[in-house]
Amino acid sequence: MANLRDVAEQAGVHTSTASRALDPDHSQMVGAKTRARVVQAAEELGYRANQVARGLRKGRTGAIGVVIADMGNPFLPPIIRGMAGSLRELGMIALVAETEDDPGVLEKALLDLLDRKVDAIITTAVHLTDRPLITEINKTIPVVLAVRTFLDGSFHAVTHDDALGGAMAARHLCSLGHTRLAELSGPDDVSSFVGRSRGAKSAIDESDQPVTHRVAVGTHPTTAEGHRLMTEILEQGFVPTAVFAHNDLMAVGAIDALGQAGLSCPGDVSVVGYNDSPMTDRLNPPLTTVRFASYEIGSRAAKLAGSLLDDPDQPVASYSLTPDFVERASTARLAD
Amino acid sequence: MANLRDVAEQAGVHTSTASRALDPDHSQMVGAKTRARVVQAAEELGYRANQVARGLRKGRTGAIGVVIADMGNPFLPPIIRGMAGSLRELGMIALVAETEDDPGVLEKALLDLLDRKVDAIITTAVHLTDRPLITEINKTIPVVLAVRTFLDGSFHAVTHDDALGGAMAARHLCSLGHTRLAELSGPDDVSSFVGRSRGAKSAIDESDQPVTHRVAVGTHPTTAEGHRLMTEILEQGFVPTAVFAHNDLMAVGAIDALGQAGLSCPGDVSVVGYNDSPMTDRLNPPLTTVRFASYEIGSRAAKLAGSLLDDPDQPVASYSLTPDFVERASTARLAD
DNA sequence: TTGAAAGCGCTACCAA
DNA sequence: TTGGTAGCGCTTTCAA
């Protein structure tokens, strides 16, 4: 592999001149003829700049650390695509780490990324308890929170309005006449689920009829956990006519559990999910759910991270997108 | 941020000694008391080694380039998880790039990863025409092909038996009595789809009854493309009783197109997909499909890449996993 | 066992 | 406009 010195020698110039000639930002400081010679030499030798060396010297690697909780959650890919798309436009690349939603792993992953000198971090994996850790990291490099945030606006964040989404879900169920409602929550130390719960609660409180409301809190927002929580509720003797699951995976698990208990959806029980993950429109039954612009969240988060590199002191702000409610066939009016 | 020199100063030793003391492979060359002093200094200062500097010096970054075609394809996440899991065990990390299945983008992505001095490349995105490019890259760093390969065993590869999978799909449809069969193929310059086609063809040739077989080749293995191809076939006046789609997304698109043409699945037309992507068991109808151990493919590919770093000249070999056929409700016996 | 020195490949400062 | 020099932070030879 040819390095800069080889190019410089072949062109008969000093490495510093070669460096300038090949750097778009400085090539104007080089005589046209010299530049041409350098460029030609570089081409002949198939020169490509060593980004590790450059990163060491410049203190900038052009890499962004992306930390996600669980690759197995189908709502993530569109978000990651959004990030990858914007990063590519910026000439940057993603270093991806997965935490399995374990705070210990999160810390390890973040430190590893810092050691690798990523220019910024984007993460969709924070728990509320991670605030001190993130505060610490943010002293070193910019951190952008995506999807999940802390409940005040103390970090750069790109999210959507979870409370509104939760309210939409509960309001919908109430408007269909349901008054026995189960809520399957994700971990209650994650902003998304806290927001959805609050939204649901306020919608229920504002409902015309009195609503019996039972909340079960899970440790992971997965199908298995949805199944477990739903089963648990039924075994406790609470038979709801409507279920609000905090994400689509939990909704699917809940529908399974209902089926095993001899209850059909939406015949006996209406179920609302969350995220509008790919394929939820083709499930049996097609899932009523809450949608937000996930590609957009990823893309915005990446752009924000990029802009923080040039202007680290820009005012802290949260973008919060407005969700849509998507009514499908997993919810129905309460039969009398 | 404290660097090694700070640690060395604080411990009252030379940086080279500090380096050795902190490196598990060399710490035995350092006196126990000195080592203890260095370790303590490192802890006090919160020292963390700069991996960029280390990478430059050692010529090894501990990063693996992972190049995938399309994050939007739901069969990929399990594979990526498999990779990420094994890489983490190896203390490595993934640099992820997406190609959108465009060979031009693939080349850019690979060169970018080389410039960043990844230690090896794993890619699931090759087309048959990319062979010269991959050959070139492979002269510099180890390349592991996952899922997609070239048709001879000229590179390290971790795949599954596509021909067998394709044969399973076609054999199943034939055994249900179908004799008018449409095949919706992915791009025919991709080994997976070539293999599936060949397998299907040989199964059809071996069938008891004569089978009318129509193949449509798509440019991308997506829902939209499945829909387009299916519509095209119907508009050409070919009405099959069974469809083999080369992946689940295309199968879903085909089912949509059939529905729009007034044909039901499996009532009028049986449809087989491929990949057993997450959630396909919950689609309406649940999709008959071909499964392979996707997490395992990712995990093995990562381990292989890791082992190639220590032993680059190990014999070239292909692991080919054996697929399973998964019969669900999207296929049915031909009604007389 | 430790220290000294060199250098991975690059950029940026300072002179000329 | 160009060259020289220094140094990003680390590891690794070579001597002592």
Per the domain annotation, does A174 fall within a domain? yes
H or E segment at B16? helix B15-22
Q: What are φ and ψ of residue A128, in 5° steps?
A: -60, -30
pLDDT of residue A187: 97
Q: What is the largest CA-CA distance in chain B?
A: 90
* Number of domains observed in the structure of chain A: 3
Pick A56's closest partner by Cβ from B56, B63, B116.
B56
- Angle at which helices A4-11 and A15-22 pack, to 10 degrees? 100
Q: Quick: pLDDT tens for A245-277.
A: 999 999 999 999 999 999 999 999 999 999 999
Tell me which of B89, B99, B116 to substitute to probe the interface with A (most A C-beta atoms closer than 10 Å). Answer: B116
Domain that holds residue B214: 162-292
If asked whether residues B156 and B93 sit together in one domain, one would say yes
Pairing of the two strands A156-160 and A318-321: parallel
Regarding whether B166 and B271 lie in a shared domain, the answer is yes
Do residue B287 and residue B301 come from a single domain? no
pLDDT for A154 equals: 93
Q: What single DSSP character describes residue B333?
A: P
Instruction: State the pLDDT at residue B335.
Output: 82
Q: What is the mean pLDDT of residues A280-290?
A: 97
Distance CA(B317)–CA(B319), nearest Å, equals 7
Please state, in angstroms and rounded to a whole number, the distance separating the CA atoms of residues A15 and A12: 9
Least CA distance to B255: which residue of chain A?
A282
For the domain that residue B23 is a member of, what is the CATH number? 1.10.260
Cα distance between residue A280 and residue B120, in whole Å: 37
CB proximity A33–strand D (7 Å threshold): yes
Is position B191 within any domain? yes
My answer on whether B93 and B195 are in the same domain is no
Residues of A with CB under 8 A from a CB of B: 1, 48-53, 55-56, 61, 63, 71-72, 74, 76-78, 80-81, 84, 88, 93-98, 111-117, 140, 252, 278-279, 282-286
Quick one: which of A262, A178, A260 has its CA closest to A214?
A178
Query: What average pLDDT does chain A have?
Result: 97
d(CA B35, CA B13): 10
Please tell me the predicted confidence (pLDDT) of residue B261.
98
Q: Look up residue B105 and give its DSSP letter.
A: H
Contacts 24+ apart (CB under 8 A), B194-198: B194/B128, B194/B151, B194/B162, B195/B161, B195/B162, B195/B163, B195/B165, B195/B166, B196/B162, B196/B163, B196/B165, B196/B166, B196/B169, B196/B244, B196/B246, B196/B274, B197/B166, B197/B246, B198/B163, B198/B166
Interface-testing mutation among A48, A79, A96, with chain B (most B C-beta atoms within 10 A):
A96
Taking contacts as CB-CB distances below 8 angstroms, the residues of chain A near B84 are 71, 96-98
SS3 of B157, please? strand
Same structural domain, A68 and A117: yes
Share of chain A above pLDDT 70, in %: 100
Check if residue B49 sits with its Cβ under 7 angstroms from strand D. Answer: yes
**Shared-domain flag, residues B35 and B19:** yes
CATH number at residue A205: 3.40.50.2300
B329 domain residue, yes or no: no
- Please give the Cα distance from A105 to A69 (Å, whole number): 10
Are residue A94 and residue A106 in the same domain, yes or no?
A: yes
Does a structural domain hold residue B270? yes
- A103 in a domain, yes or no? yes
Q: Where are the alpha helices (DSSP H) in chain A?
A: 4-11, 15-22, 32-45, 51-58, 76-89, 103-115, 131-140, 162-175, 191-205, 223-235, 248-260, 294-310
* Same domain flag for B284 and B171: yes
Residue ranges of chain B with pLDDT lower than 70?
none
Instruction: Kindly report whether the peptide bond that precedes residue B312 is cis, defined as omega within 30 degrees of 0.
Output: no
Residues 51-70 of A with CB under 7 A from strand D: 53, 56-57
For residues B171 and B264, state if they share a domain.
Answer: yes
pLDDT tens-digit profile of A100-114? Answer: 999 999 999 999 999
Instruction: For residue A243, give the H/E element and its range.
Output: strand A242-245
Cβ of B93 within 8 Å of Cβ of A98? The answer is no
- On whether both A288 and A191 belong to a single domain, the answer is yes
Does a structural domain hold residue B247? Answer: yes
Nearest Cα to Cα of residue A73 among A232, A190, A172, A153:
A190
Residues B28 and B103 in one domain: no
Can you tell me which residue has the tokens 């087989």?
B272
In a domain, B66, yes or no: yes
The number of C-beta contacts closer than 8 angstroms across A and B is 117
Tokens describing residue B147: 């899922």
Among candidates A220, A236, A237, A226, which has minimal Cα distance to A265?
A226
Shared-domain flag, residues A41 and A71? no
A305 within a domain of the structure (yes/no): yes
pLDDT tens-digit readout, A201-224: 999 999 999 999 999 999 999 999
Q: What is the pLDDT of residues B119-172, one digit of tens each?
A: 999 999 999 999 999 999 999 999 999 999 998 889 999 999 999 999 999 999
